[in-house]
Amino acid sequence: MKMSLKKIAGAALLSTALAAGAAGSAVAENKILLKVPVWFPTSLPALGTSPAWVAKKINALGGNLKLKIYEPKKLVPPKEMLEAVSKGQVNAGYTTPGYNTGKLGDKGAIFSAVPFGPDAPEFLAWVYYGNGRALWQKTYDDAGFNVQSIPCGIIAPETSGWFSKEINSPADLKGLRMRFFGLGARVMEKLGVSTSQLPGGEIVPALQKGAIDATEFSMPAIDKRLGINKILKFNYYPGWHQPATLFDLIINKDTWNNEMSKAQQTIIELACRAVMTDGLAMGESMQFDTMKENAKAGTQNKYWSPEMLATFSTKWDEVVAEAIEVDPGFKVIWDDLQEFRSNYKIWNEWAYLPRPGTVRK
C-alpha cells in the first residue's frame, strides 16, 4: 500500500514531535541521588551485597538516577534509619521490617520472616501476586511513616542456632541468654530463653565476654564470616524461625512521589526485583562448601528432633494467638497470609517432589 506525500509528511511531523517530547521529558527529569545507609556491612554475602548490587546496576545505566551506599553507622545509625528516612534527613535506606518491630509492632516482622511459614517461592508469590505487598506498605503507613517500601532482597533459610552444648529437650534451653531475630525470639522466650537482637558485629564480642551463651544470625557462610563457628560448636537446623527472609529499600515518600519520575521509579522496582534472584541464588550457592569446612574444623551440624520442632511449633501458635489479641492489625495480615497459604498448599502438595531423605545426626 502506498502512502501519500501528505501522510508521509504528517507521520514525519508526529515522529519529530514525539522525539522532541521525549527529549524534553528527559531534560526535565530531576537528577536523583539516593543516599542509602544499610543495616548490614556490604562484605556480608546476600545480606550486605544485595543493596550494593542494586546500586552498581542502576549506576551503570548512566541516567539521572544514582545510588550511593553508606556502610552501617556511616550516615545514620541503623536503628534510627526508618525515622531518618521518614523525616527526610536521608532520602533512602536498606533494612527489613523485623528490625523495626518497636515502631511497626510485631505485625511488621511478618514481612521479614515467618516461623514455620513460607519459603522463598511461596513468600514471593504472596508479596507480588497476593496482598502481601499492599499490606506491607500499609503497615508503614498506619504507623505514620512517610516512606515508600520496595521489597528488595531475599535470602535462603537460616540455621536456627549455635550452642555450646547439645539441646535435647526444652529444659536444655531454659536460662540461656541468646541473640535471636524477629518473631522467633518470642518463641524462644516462651521456652525460658532471654533474647536480645544484637547487630551482627556485636555477636562475637558478646559471646567472648560471656554476655550471651548462644546465638543465631544467618546462613552458615555468613555466620562463618563473623567467626561464630570458632566459639560455638553445635549448629542446629532447620531454620524454623526464618524459612526465608525478605528485605526492603525504603525511600522518603516526598522524594518518591514528588521528585522521582515514573521512569526512575520503574528502574528502582526492576532492580529490586532482579536482586531477589541474585541474593537467593548467591545464598543457595555457597552454604554447602561452608558446611563441609565447618565440619572439618569441628562444627557439629544437628537437626532438631521431631519433638523439639513440635515444641517450637506449639509455642509459635501461642505467640500468634497473643499477637492477634494485642493487635487487630496483626490478625488482618495473618489471616490474609493464612488464606493464601491454604490455597498454595494445594499446588505445593501436588507439584513438588518430596525432598530426598537424608541421614541426620
Read off the pLDDT of residues 156-185 as tens digits, 9 standing for 90 and up.
999 999 999 999 999 999 999 999 999 999
Instruction: Measure the CA–CA gap between 263 and 84, rounded to whole angstroms.
Output: 25
Q: Which residue type, as a one-letter code, is found at position 361?
A: K
Q: Are 187 and 322 within 8 A, CB to CB?
A: no
Measured between alpha carbons, how far is residue 137 from residues 134, 140, 145, 254 in Å?
5, 5, 10, 15
The pTM assigned to this predicted structure is 0.90
Burial 136-153 (b: 16+ CB within 10 A, else e): bbbbbeebebbbbbbbbb
Task: Report the 10 Å Cβ neighbour count for 311.
Answer: 18
Residue 230: count other Cβ atoms within 10 Å of its Cβ: 15
The whole-chain average pLDDT of the chain stands at 92
Task: Indicate the range of 182-191, 247-256, 350-359 predicted with least confidence.
Answer: 350-359
The average pLDDT across 17-26 equals 38
Q: Are 180 and 126 in contact (CB under 8 A)?
A: no
In the chain, the domains with their CATH numbers are 30-153+246-285 (3.40.190.170), 162-242+300-351 (3.40.190.10)
Element (H, E) at 195: strand 194-196
Lookup: cell for 30: 530531576
Q: What's the mean pLDDT in 209-224?
A: 97
Q: Span 123-137, mean pLDDT?
A: 98
Does the structure show a pLDDT above 50 at 12? Answer: no
- pLDDT bracket for residue 52 (50, 70, 90): very high
For residue 259, the 8-state DSSP code is I
